[in-house]
Amino acid sequence: MIIRHGLVRGGLGFSPGGDGSVIEDWLRGRTNGVLMRVAGIIAWTGVTPNALTVLGFLGMVVAGVLCARGSFFFAGIVVAASCAFDALDGALARASGAASVFGAFLDSFLDRYAEAAVYAGLLVHYAGAGPTWGVWAAFAAAIGSLMVSYARARAEGLGVACRVGLFARPERIAVIVVGLVTGLVLPALAVLAVATNATAARRLFHVRGATLSASRPPRSP
């Protein structure tokens, strides 16, 4: 993640209310310098970080419409481009000194809708063109993705760090883009349907273990 709006924000839309991962940390370390240089240029135009956040969200909505129409390749390109906006908004906030608590919240808030828009488009497409299991896969992937993000946000609201599991947002976006661009959409949805819900369950058990450990009385010497 990139520090943005006074809080953690950026890098494919990762945020404190989101669900960062090791991949996110790896990407941050290798792209931060480039993003800051580009953000410095954008700052001269007067564009705000929140504007980039909204543009990234609108791009994902367009991708969802393209998915519904079966234009998977172009949808994948739009998703990838939207992620570029979402990566730059955090760097722009740092470069322009426009950090705000609301900006970080807006980022997390729109990230959830953005991802859901793509799944909704895929669900609509398969509802009309089949196969039927594609509808269920899109629905399960959408629910799993939202629960992965919610599990971390709720756990951290309770004071429990919760970044465990493999399918946080970076992995999900990567699978979506690859699936759309290659045309392997159904296999990608199948992977996401299973892996996201498995990650959500992993976080559930992680929080259970962490809270049980904290509530156990110490053993007598």
* Distance separating alpha carbons of residues 127 and 135, to the nearest angstrom: 6
11: left (phi over 0), alpha (psi -120 to 50) or beta: left
From 86, 89, 107, 111, active-site residue: 111
Instruction: Tell me whether the omega of the peptide bond preceding residue 16 falls within 30 degrees of 0, making it cis.
Output: no
Q: What share of the chain is helix, strand, coil (3-state, %, to 5)?
A: 75, 5, 20
Tokens of 100: 């705000």
Q: Are 6 and 104 in contact (CB under 8 A)?
A: yes
Whether 111 is catalytic is yes
CA 137 to chain centre: 18
CA distance 202 to 195: 10
Cβ count near 47 (within 10 Å) = 16
Q: 116-125: buried (b, 16+ CB within 10 Å) or exposed (e) per residue?
A: bbbbbbbbbb
Active site residues: 111
